[in-house]
Structure 1
């Protein structure tokens, strides 16, 4: 299961003789071969075969291998665009998108661009999603791979619909691609798809998760395989893929920009998983629920370009370590990012760099209970997204978003923004809440807009009496237990992402079999004593019960004429409810209830965050005692073991003129 040694490999990759990549190979022109039922793009390095007029990638020939895609699969199940859609109120329909009209858009020795269009009319109502879909494939001279993008277009007079997911899928040869890489420390030899067949695996709490009981490779026996263990945040999913050992070939999916993805930088999506399968996810409800399902009503036009993404192929010489291919793929990813936005897509719906605008500025934070001076918004996430309220970007799924991370002095630059109207949003690690600039920002071609200094005033009523956790929109800093030894993925043993192990939700009941968590301010340590998720407890009869956590603290002084403020930031919620009571656990009515919230499913899917929630609870001073106090946090929903909350950060503030008050 060992990882590639990055330093050693980088040194070796720097030798141009170690990798047979496009810079050291001859670069003949691109040629197009149109046949009756298929079309072939060939630049002398890669040959890509697509069905005509469907636009399904049926073959990828490279480095002497006739087809890197799974030849045992039907041609329609190798490389394809797909989506899940539904009419309002109906069930989702899975659709492999097949074109009905084929066109050559560009054909010369430098570039070939092909179009496979499926048009919609009212005779197709109920059968296909009401969209015109234009899938494009591009091959360039000297390029060790190919590009794909698509234009989705819904006319105002067409019927309403919802789209739950859309993506590109590639299924590779299982006899060759055995090693998967999605990060420097997230690489491993993977199970085969055969290992998920009856007799070789045991299905666990949901179909995606299985325990390997009789795998083809005995070394994998006892491990859990679950595609959700390999999810990542949008901001981190730039390159991932597979390595074949014989011959040493890499197949990589590179996404150079997040602008066409939904939900912002922290939205989680699938990457690669057993198949061997690699994905480019553009829209999905994973780790968010229905909030991230675009819903289009009557009279609502919509057009969006997804991509381009790059399918990159590389190879190593005989005898060289195939792990070099990962290092080279990262270098190629950085090259693609530098080239964005590409100048070669032929569609006018994809604006080039000179047709876009730039925005820059500096973000500062004003919190006088932290500092009398303004604080630089160090490493703040700053973005432009469609108009909405503060924080609306994380639920936005129809338009384009453009995000960057400020430097250590709070300066940011958002480049190559499509024309249109946006709000500027931000959130700052170390501070709660969301920033939104009041003015609408209109981006026009060639605009270079300096916004100067911007000031974010995070929610604050008074001095901090106590706090738990770190305000970073993640529950990763809390206690994540070791997994049950019977259900492990060895990749995540002694790994920073230990939360990706299967079944951690069940450990709560083992650690707290009868009484719930009690956290004492000034004594307890959130890294050891605050369980990462408030989940139901499983009872002996197999049912579950809600849980109530306690925060115990002492106050030396209470102003009963004033209100105190309890800030509760949640990193995730799944069909859960947060109830707050103060000093009376049996109070019939809680001081605060969130009601039923969230469909993130992050607990079951090994995510440490989903959608962010911030609740600001007024606590009357009459409810507090000079001396001992207890806040009770109840999550009563318990129909499923996966219902629950992940906390990001909690803080109790005193009134404005209140002394620190803690004993």
Structure 2
């Protein structure tokens, strides 16, 4: 949507009847000098300066107040975009498209006359290789005292609560009663969001991101969504369109012209019911027909069926359409292109619609249920999606190991801590990992998954007692599947007193999960250690995970622990 189309509309308008030509949109852009512009419609307006939109007038009040306002930035707060110009680049009788230009790219506001809010999108031209790229509002704390995501809805902590508390790490504070205040409690799984934002009794500010194909990462991509700014009290509403909050490595270079969005920033009277209705309307309208970008509109669909090599359907498997021939990057860390997620049904069938045309890699992994024992992943590259075509992959065979060779397994193999002690009910709580014991004994086959704690950090030994019934000439393999890992704690893994492996910062990058309160998932890691036939004996055997070094609230989240013959 650029200058060429704008001129085309002008030519069409000149040929239209006089009464149609006379109708102009009520939405507006006004330049008031000194790199300051006012944009909006008869419902709301924003005053945009070179860096911040520091006023938002809605329902008779400025809803920014003493807060920072709206801005676009990358790599945290290190680089805020500075706008050098603004112009209406497209319009019709009831809307305008305003482009704000910065060195890194163009940020657009598509404003309809009757819309309380605006559609927004960003077109890259010169962003550096980066991890975090975001747009956000920092709003008046009196107007917006509460926050809402799909998993948390309630009052944001008052600024006064921070004043008597002790800062223990990044935006995490301990109160006198020993409890914690942390913005990370307001994180969520980003692809599960219908709408989220901050609200009060008379006003709500919401983000609605239908489609979500411009987000980086897979099903388990988590981001900070809303929070209270501890230094100023601002109510913060984040739009992390490329984020890294619970990841180890997510740095990407982007093509000139890559588009994030459009999404809807929506204002209302604070009603969650109204926001939910609007979110459903946006989801039904995606991909937006009004967004006349050829690459955006060029889409196809895909379907297929995953069948395990032992004949079972891959029921409930997580399916991810991502980078082609990019096995060196985890699905969570992929982020330079466009990404799609779904789950297979009970028969292993899956489908994804409205996929941007291109060539993709297809990835799948177990998501619990009847395939909780599957320790392998599925990958198929060179999946071509053509415009207005259906790519039918038919039956895909997923090679799995022989379940009869399993000596023991603790936990479902699903990249999550689900089923373990203390893994619920909420996926975020600072310090919950400290409630897991230093010493734990698990006995095969009588112990259950809920006897194993979700995370390990404290000094001590977690012991697995297990039998081997028959002598064998075969070697074995120990698979350690971690749902997340935060550097600072290490463990030795010993089989019958002999070390066979370790969990250590020397080989695992930090994914910022346990110390940011993640209790369900972070960045999945797979460790495999060979076991010789001499290291196992007929009768009772002992596997120890012995923590030798610890740092408070840093350690690992458990997914599964598997020992099997090879």
TM-score range, shorter chain: 0.7 to 0.9
Structure 1 pair 412–379 and aligned structure 2 pair: CA distance change class (3 A): same
Structure 1 CA distance for aligned equivalents of residues 125 and 146 of structure 2: 38
Name the residue aligned to 1:357.
Answer: 300
The CA deviation at 1:259 is 1.2
Q: Of the candidates 297, 310, 313, which is equivalent to residue 375 of structure 1?
A: 313
User: For residues 631-661 of structure 1, what are the alpha-carbon distances to aligned partners after superposition, in whole Å with 9 as ceiling and x for unaligned?
Assistant: 12234343x2243221101222235xxxxxx
Structure 1 pair 101–458 and aligned structure 2 pair: CA distance change class (3 A): farther
Does structure 2 conserve the Cα–Cα contact (< 8 Å) formed by 1:179 and 1:244?
A: yes
User: For residues 361-388 of structure 1, what are the alpha-carbon distances to aligned partners after superposition, in whole Å with 9 as ceiling and x for unaligned?
Assistant: 122223x3xxxx3324335333233431
Q: Of the candidates 153, 157, 161, which is equivalent to residue 191 of structure 1?
A: 157
Query: What is the aligned-residue RMSD (CA, Å)?
Result: 2.7
The CA deviation at 1:557 is 1.3
Structure 2 CA distance for aligned equivalents of residues 286 and 356 of structure 1: 30
Q: Of the candidates 22, 46, 49, which is equivalent to residue 46 of structure 2?
A: 49
The CA deviation at 1:97 is 0.9
- Asked if 1:496 is matched to 2:436, the reply is no
Structure 1 CA distance for aligned equivalents of residues 107 and 51 of structure 2: 7
Structure 2 CA distance for aligned equivalents of residues 459 and 396 of structure 1: 27
Name the residue aligned to 1:72.
Answer: 66
Structure 1 CA distance for aligned equivalents of residues 357 and 379 of structure 2: 19
Structure 1 pair 313–644 and aligned structure 2 pair: CA distance change class (3 A): same
Structure 1, unaligned runs of 5 or more: 1-27, 86-92, 120-131, 156-160, 214-220, 316-321, 482-494, 538-546, 656-663
Structure 2 CA distance for aligned equivalents of residues 136 and 393 of structure 1: 29
Does structure 2 conserve the Cα–Cα contact (< 8 Å) formed by 1:31 and 1:108?
A: no
Structure 1 pair 57–345 and aligned structure 2 pair: CA distance change class (3 A): farther
Structure 2 CA distance for aligned equivalents of residues 599 and 570 of structure 1: 12
Does structure 2 conserve the Cα–Cα contact (< 8 Å) formed by 1:386 and 1:400?
A: no
User: For residues 317-376 of structure 1, what are the alpha-carbon distances to aligned partners after superposition, in whole Å with 9 as ceiling and x for unaligned?
Assistant: xxxxx6xx212222222221221121223555x612xx112111122223x3xxxx3324
The CA deviation at 1:311 is 1.0
The CA deviation at 1:271 is 0.4
The CA deviation at 1:591 is 5.0
- Asked if 1:283 is matched to 2:242, the reply is yes
Name the count of aligned residue pairs.
529
User: For residues 518-570 of structure 1, what are the alpha-carbon distances to aligned partners after superposition, in whole Å with 9 as ceiling and x for unaligned?
Assistant: 2111232321x312211133xxxxxxxxx4321111222121x2112322211
User: For residues 123-145 of structure 1, what are the alpha-carbon distances to aligned partners after superposition, in whole Å with 9 as ceiling and x for unaligned?
Assistant: xxxxxxxxx31111111243232
Does structure 1 conserve the Cα–Cα contact (< 8 Å) formed by 2:44 and 2:116?
A: no
Provide TM-score, normalisation by structure 1: 0.74
Structure 2 CA distance for aligned equivalents of residues 285 and 395 of structure 1: 9
Structure 2 CA distance for aligned equivalents of residues 592 and 61 of structure 1: 57
Structure 1 CA distance for aligned equivalents of residues 168 and 257 of structure 2: 39
Name the residue aligned to 2:387.
Answer: 445
Name the residue aligned to 2:31.
Answer: 35
Does structure 1 conserve the Cα–Cα contact (< 8 Å) formed by 2:376 and 2:399?
A: no
Provide TM-score, normalisation by structure 2: 0.86
Structural mapping, 1:198-597, within 5 Å: 200-212=163-175, 224-245=180-201, 248-274=202-228, 275-289=234-248, 291-294=249-252, 296=253, 302-315=256-269, 325-345=271-291, 351-352=296-297, 355-366=298-309, 368=310, 373-389=311-327, 392-429=330-367, 430=372, 431-437=374-380, 439-460=381-402, 462-480=404-422, 496-497=425-426, 499-508=427-436, 511-512=437-438, 516-527=439-450, 529-537=451-459, 547-559=460-472, 561-575=473-487, 577=490, 579-584=492-497, 587=498, 590=500, 595-597=506-508
Structure 1 pair 107–630 and aligned structure 2 pair: CA distance change class (3 A): same
- SS of 1:59's partner is strand
Structure 1 pair 258–460 and aligned structure 2 pair: CA distance change class (3 A): farther
Structure 1 CA distance for aligned equivalents of residues 316 and 449 of structure 2: 24
User: For residues 279-331 of structure 1, what are the alpha-carbon distances to aligned partners after superposition, in whole Å with 9 as ceiling and x for unaligned?
Assistant: 11022221112x1122x5xxx9554212222111222xxxxxx6xx2122222
Structure 1 pair 636–109 and aligned structure 2 pair: CA distance change class (3 A): farther
